[in-house]
Chain A
């Protein structure tokens, strides 16, 4: 067992557990976006940052990926943590304002403005879909390509994947996909529209050759028919 202190409260956890798990065990809330139980931690959204260490060596780490270490002192809501979280949410709002999940997180953290140039992106590259596809659907149909600003998600060569079985797992976990349902008028997006489709888009026959992340999106095509 490893003993550490989170917000001054001691806690003992198994070796290999993350700071996020330890904090949740104690009931300290930490917002997450790219983390999901059942999928491996990835550390992409940085929303779950916490402050570790003391004095000049104190620094922020993503709690979903950082392993618990003996004697570590962790702060889950210091001023520095909150400053980072708010800025991350502001950046998320600036890129993907139509996501219900992002909106809710922003309002929970009292982020009410965003000062950057407004964009309407349909992917925050959190990688949930990639991990869902690989780790739960055992399909490995989609993956990351490129780096920096040209990084994106898709199938190899953007061709219909033999591996994809249209399970829809990737759409299900996507925090940003809502854009696809309203992509002609993203400003007017009502969040979560896609979640209420019935029957679920991927069961529709005429979309056999489509995949969730494809443009145009399955859901949008359904709107039309």
Chain B
């Protein structure tokens, strides 16, 4: 790898790479992030390599292994460029057929994605309802690059933004550009990034400043940061280099949780490559600007995502938040000024520099610009990572992109913002998704988790689930947060077991407000959200548990009974699956559940094809 010593030599390299590229050669793109690999992408890669080599097709058909492409439910998926053909859930045996078809320039109709509403196959990725409404500024780049090949990134315009700001030689203009873009931090709080940088730039540079990429991503069920780290590590390195130039920082830290081995591997490779190319380290591209990055692995505590706890963790201390002020921008790592930004925030920086802040600001709404990645999961047809312009309604995400409810169920709420977020009921699905509207509705944007719930979800159970998470993940320093979450869990558990009273419900509410009010960091201050937001919109469910000893969602074990209704056709599938042998009946006749023996495991309900198992 040649070391680039000037901006001109960088442009020369980029030009060479572009000239060598023939965009008409068909390329098989296999999505192999952690999610893809888990669903079998590695087998596809092996099959494809074997096939291409043995048929000596490597010159005529290219293969690209990339990070996650977002449509998790369709993994392992294969995309054929430049045509845009999308094959979902490809089996290793089908790879040969696909390669043959590509070689002939054909499409395999029978392997295409079938739209669940119309029943017709859809060929192109961009035509699939899941992708249609998305604006994939960040995620679409995952498909274009092999994360372990820096040349892929450079060829696709990578590091051009860096070259541009270095050529301009004016750090304050970079800050102005980021301010003009209106970009707000994607880590949850939505603090304007340009403003944060300006504050850091103003700090005296006596003993050095730090930039941090927060890749802790502790929310259960959220993995957008992982996908970007795995799929496009250079974009974040580039973002941080630009940030370093703009703010006068010359050291950076990647804080990534150890549970993300693939992200760590790709980042390590990327750092080595960019250092080798002279894009990282001393005297970058011969401009005199120096910036170096190191990788710190976190041990996977949710609270270590909080910025002051994260700083302590980087310093090798216990991950415990501290009083702000002083803010990290004044006193951060080793007491030096530090700016912390989320993975996705960093990934947006090169986009802003390349396109200009003003153009970036046109996407989304006035106070919430750009796109945001959500991990859309739960009781919905299409799950995966979706990138949408800010201000899109929940309705559009849930129904158009997510494809609506599964089967006959009715969607009743979405939970946003991770464990300390809140639930938004279906009658408010016209709500635009942005920092301010979500906060107003009693939830938060958080880092982008979005869990869809239907009428088989119990809201008390949901609150209980998150409270259980929080009581284990609170750092435990503030008495209100540590004990408060334990006590809220205790009260919720009582309600879910039919032992609640209305007095204790108001105690729960009273406690929730105090925990929110008097805890030190963001974790404690939002720990009550699961309780307060479910109470705000679904108080009737709480009351049903308390007054009628009934769980409307059919979830709380102590309050439900399983029975079989007249839709039963006597297939006997449930009886075979019942571990308690509580189901009896003769074949082809309606079966019965012995409620004394029944352990309420729910197996029968899952296996019944006739929806005959009732839970009330």
Contacts and interface: CB of A to CB of B under 8 A. Distances in A.
Given A84-B518, A117-B490, A46 B318 contact: no
Interface residues of B, number: 38
A49 to B, nearest CB: 5
Interface string A28-44: 00000000000001111
Interface string B295-332: 00000010100000000000000111011011000000
Contact of B476 (A42, A69, A148): A148
Given A49-B518, A60-B517, A88 B473 contact: no
Contacts of A125: 476-477, 479, 482
B304 to A, nearest CB: 10
Given A87-B510, A94-B487, A115-B507, A151 B482 contact: yes
A21 B482 CA distance: 26
B477 A43 contact: yes
Contacts of A43: 322-323, 477-478, 520
Interface in A64-92: 65-67, 69, 80, 83-84, 87-88, 91-92
A127 B474 CA distance: 16
A46 B476 contact: no
B480 A147 contact: no
A45 interface: yes
A62 B482 contact: no
Contacts of B471: 148-149
Contact of A62 (B323, B473, B487, B490): B323
Contacts, number: 104
A60 B486 CA distance: 21
Given A66-B323, A84-B517, A147-B303, A91 B475 contact: no
A181 interface: no
A65 B323 contact: yes
B519 interface: yes
B524 to A, nearest CB: 9
B472 interface: yes
A65 to B, nearest CB: 4
Given A62-B323, A147-B475, A149-B472, A88 B482 contact: no
B318 A144 contact: yes
Given A60-B517, A84-B518, A116-B487, A91 B479 contact: yes
A69 B326 CA distance: 11
Contacts of B140: none
A147 B476 contact: yes
B482 A149 contact: yes
A46 B519 contact: yes
A59 interface: yes
Interface string A96-116: 000000000000000000011
A26 to B, nearest CB: 21
B504 interface: yes
Interface of A: 41-46, 49, 59-62, 65-67, 69, 80, 83-84, 87-88, 91-92, 94-95, 115-117, 124-127, 144, 146-151
12 contacts: A43-B477, A43-B478, A43-B520, A60-B518, A65-B323, A80-B517, A84-B514, A91-B483, A91-B487, A125-B479, A144-B320, A148-B472
Interface of B: 301, 303, 318-320, 322-323, 325-326, 470-480, 482-487, 490, 503-504, 507, 510-511, 513-514, 517-520
